[in-house]
Structure 1
Amino acid sequence: MVETRTVVATPMADRLVGAVGLPLAGALVGWLARLAAGWIAELPWAPFQGVFKTIAGFSDPAATLITIAIGLAGGILLAFMAVGEWLTVTVTPTSASLARVGESAVEIARGEVESVFTDGKDLVLLGGQGQELARETSDIKPEPLKAAFTGHGYPWLDGGDPFRDAFRLWAPGMTGLPDGADALLAARAEAVGKGSDDDKATYRKELLRLGVIVRDEKKHQYWRLPG
C-alpha cells in the first residue's frame, strides 16, 4: 500500500521573486548605477567613489552593458542564496521530513513527535521530554503546515511553544548551563550579530548535543534545558 503524504513548500510567489525578481532587480540596479555614476562621483561624502569614478569614465554603450551585467550577476548570486533557503515539508502518517535545496533532509519518526507548532517564522517539532527535534525557518504560512500535520494525526499546538516561559535571556558567564555551552552561545551570539545563518545553525546543533535549546528574538539568544 502506498503511504499517503502531504507536501508543503515555500510559496510560488516567493520562489518567483527569488528566481526571477532578484536577477532583474540586480540588472536594474546596475543600469541605475550607470545613470547616477557621474553625479555620485562628485559627492565628497559618497562611499565607493573610486568605483563610481571608474564607471563614469567609461563610454556608452559599453559602460551601460557592463554595469547591467554586473548587477545581473549579483542578482543571480542572491537568487541562488534564496533558493537555498526554500523549505519543503513532507508529512506522512509515519514520519516528517524537512528539506532545503542542497542539504540533507531532516527525517523525524512520528513516534518521536510530542508536539508541532510555529514560533514566529520557525516550524518546531518537540519530543516527549520537551527536547527540540527540529526548528526550521521559512516563509510558509502556519495554516498549510497545520493542515498537513493534523491531517496525518500529529499534535499541533495553536498556542505556540508550551515551554516559552522556560527560556532565559543568555548573557556571558550565566550559571545553569552544561560545560562548554557558554562558549558556544558566545560564538553563536557573534554569528547572530553578523547574520551568518550557516554558523548559527552549526552552533545550534552543537548546543542541542549538550542538551541546550536556543531560540532567537530581536538578535538576542534565549535558552532552556529539556524537561
Structure 2
Amino acid sequence: MNSTHPSGDATTLTMTAGTKVLVWAVLGAAGVGLGLALPWLLQNAASWPIPYFNVLEAVGSIESPFMVAGRPAVLGLVGLAFAFFITHEAATLVITDGAISVTEGDDTRIIERSQVGGVYAKGGKVRIESPEGRVLFHDDVEGGRVAIAAAFRRHGYPWESVEQASKEVTQ
C-alpha cells in the first residue's frame, strides 16, 4: 500500500488491512483443511518411509468426537500463528526526502539519505544499497513495483531498474 501522510512529506509502504485479513483467512483455512484431511493423508502415506510413522498413524486414526473436531481446530490455530508472524514481521517503510524508516515487527531502524547509493527491485523484493554496495535493506515491500518505484523517486532516491533505463534510452 502506498499512502502519503497528511503533511505531504512522507510516503508509507505497508501491508494493507485487507491483505492482512486475506493472509489470516487463507492460512487459518489451510490449517483447518489440513486438519480435516489428515486421516486421509496419513492413510495414503502409509507406504512412505517416514520415521515414527506409527505415532502419526495412531493420531490420525483416532475418530473420537474430540479428535475429529480438535485436529482442524488445532491446525487452524497453527495456521493463524503463522499468519500472525507473517503479518507482524512484514516490513513497513516510511520514506521522506531525508531518511527511510524501516520497521519489521517491533524493530525500527533509520537509513539516512546519505547512506543510500541505489534502490531497486530484485527477485520480487526491494533492495537498498549503500554507495559502497553494502546491503542496507532487502525484503518484501507491499504496494506493487510501480508504486514502490514512484515512492522512492518522489523523494529523490536513486531508483535503478530496467524499465527506467529503457525509457531513458528511448527519450
TM over 0.5: yes
Count of residue pairs brought into register by the alignment: 154
Closer, same or farther: CA 139–33 of 1 in aligned 2, 3 Å: farther
Partner of 2:60: 55
Q: How far is the alpha carbon of 1:131 from its aligned partner?
A: 3.2
Q: How far is the alpha carbon of 1:14 from its aligned partner?
A: 4.3
Closer, same or farther: CA 151–38 of 1 in aligned 2, 3 Å: closer
Contact 2:92 2:141 in 1 (8 A): no
2:109 and 2:147 map into 1 onto residues whose CA distance is 19
Over the aligned positions, Cα root-mean-square deviation in angstroms equals 2.6
**Residue type at the aligned position of 2:26:** G
1:77 and 1:144 map into 2 onto residues whose CA distance is 30
Partner of 1:223: none
Q: Does structure 1 residue 28 correspond to structure 2 residue 33? A: yes
Contact 2:99 2:113 in 1 (8 A): yes
Contact 1:124 1:132 in 2 (8 A): no
2:73 and 2:22 map into 1 onto residues whose CA distance is 19
* Residue correspondence of structure 1 range 94-173 to structure 2 within 5 A: 94-102=98-106, 104-128=107-131, 130-138=132-140, 140=142, 141-159=144-162
Partner of 2:92: 88
1:81 and 1:22 map into 2 onto residues whose CA distance is 11
Q: Does structure 1 residue 67 correspond to structure 2 residue 44? A: no
Percent identical residues:
20
SS in 1 for 2:161: coil
Closer, same or farther: CA 49–91 of 1 in aligned 2, 3 Å: same
Compute the TM-score of the two structures, normalised by the length of structure 1.
Answer: 0.58
2:41 and 2:130 map into 1 onto residues whose CA distance is 56
Q: Deviations over 1:87-128 (max 9, x none)?
A: 1111011111121122x2221112222321122233222333
Q: How far is the alpha carbon of 1:21 from its aligned partner?
A: 1.4
**Residue type at the aligned position of 1:15:** K
Larger relative contact order (CA 8 Å, sep ≥ 6)? 2
**Residue type at the aligned position of 1:116:** V
Closer, same or farther: CA 116–38 of 1 in aligned 2, 3 Å: closer
2:83 and 2:92 map into 1 onto residues whose CA distance is 17
**Residue type at the aligned position of 1:143:** V
SS in 1 for 2:138: strand
1:133 and 1:56 map into 2 onto residues whose CA distance is 50
Gaps of 5+ in 2: 1-6, 164-171
1:115 and 1:18 map into 2 onto residues whose CA distance is 31
Compute the TM-score of the two structures, normalised by the length of structure 2.
Answer: 0.75
Closer, same or farther: CA 56–158 of 1 in aligned 2, 3 Å: same
Gaps of 5+ in 1: 161-227
Closer, same or farther: CA 40–92 of 1 in aligned 2, 3 Å: same
1:76 and 1:64 map into 2 onto residues whose CA distance is 19
Partner of 1:19: 24
